[in-house]
Amino acid sequence: MVSKSPKALIWILAGALWGLGWGLGWGLGWAPPAEARRARKVSADPLDPLYKHIAKDLKAGKPLVITVHVALCSNRQIWCGSRKLGDGDKPRTNLYWGGAAGFTAWFRWNGRKRYKRVFGDQGDGKIVMERVVYRRRVKWLSKRWKRLGVKKPFDIYLVGYAYRARYIGKAVEALIRQTATGAGSTLKLKSGKVLSIGGRGHLVGYAGHNYLMDTGGKWNWPKITRKNPVGYFMLACRSAQYVARKLTHKRTHAVVLTTVLMYPGAYTIDGIIGALSYAQRQRQVFRRAAAYYAKYSKVRARTVRCCMFTHEGQSKFRKKYPGK
């Protein structure tokens, strides 16, 4: 017989008592109910209020609407790669619109199987040089959409505004004002369908040069007075440090912001829309957008997630921009 030290016997006895207590607890019905266990697994998500708002509109027969303000690239502000890509008065060949992976270039070619162009005009011809609308049909409903009560397929409308380069401030102002106040308008398509766009929609975005860097961050920031939740993103160099603190609120949700110099290619927008079509959680939306950026910008996805992009669900974001 092998003798055991008193210390070892104490550990054996403690383990036996713990196992007995655990077994009795489950046997007598002390285990947490199934609903509580499931609730622990599915914790609250920062985008829950936004998805509830979207679901309410979808059940009423309205579409999901995303508005993106694109400031054309100009060689007078930054080097855009060539004379054509940097001509801020010609959307068709501009780096951020019709050239490279610009807004219309991407959705016209790479997104042609998922998106259909349903509207286009020349804007006001002065500040906004072109407006386009793409429609994406969501035929398969995710479990999350079904849990929110959405039972029928729906449409996602992507509205794009191309701003003449010298009016870049107007594009940034539109993002800020529409996100903060809910300002927006309506747009009637050729089919007769009327879209609520801008701050009246569900997501507002910006793509282009970060004009706030040129102003030193100085801006006449409006108070956040909007009533309905909205998601927003700003695909511009170091956008987080310029807009996150000012736009952080319980009714504004930062889907994707940036922390370094970057290229605002439309493929990142495509990634965001793809995740929203499944009502994915904030972390999944972020990871999908980062994956698209990494794939087409030839950067490691892990690098994008950790060091280039950020979102409101990250603990470091909440610590640095405590507004909610």
Q: If 0-12 CB within 10 Å is exposed, 13-18 middle and 19+ buried, where does residue 54 land?
A: buried
Predicted confidence at residue 189, as pLDDT, reads 96
CA separation for the pair 264, 209 (Å, rounded): 8
Asked if residue 32 is part of any domain, the answer here is: no
Other CB atoms within 10 A of residue 293 CB: 25
Question: Could you list the residue range(s) of the whole structural domain that residue 169 is in?
Answer: 44-320
Asked if residue 184 is part of any domain, the answer here is: yes
Predicted model pTM: 0.86
- Decide: helix, strand or coil at residue 23: helix
Asked if residue 31 is part of any domain, the answer here is: no
DSSP one-letter code for 166: G
275 neighbors 136 (Cβ within 8 angstroms): no
Residues of the chain where predicted confidence (pLDDT) is lower than 50 = 1-2, 22, 24, 26-28, 30-31, 35-42
Asked if residue 38 is part of any domain, the answer here is: no
Asked if residue 125 is part of any domain, the answer here is: yes
Asked if residue 35 is part of any domain, the answer here is: no
Q: Which residues face 257 on adjacent strands?
A: 310
Strands 128-138, 116-121: pairing kind? antiparallel
Asked if residue 56 is part of any domain, the answer here is: yes
What is the token pair recorded at 12?
A: 């054996």
Q: What is the domain count for the chain? A: 1
Asked if residue 212 is part of any domain, the answer here is: yes
Predicted confidence at residue 63, as pLDDT, reads 98
CA separation for the pair 282, 66 (Å, rounded): 17
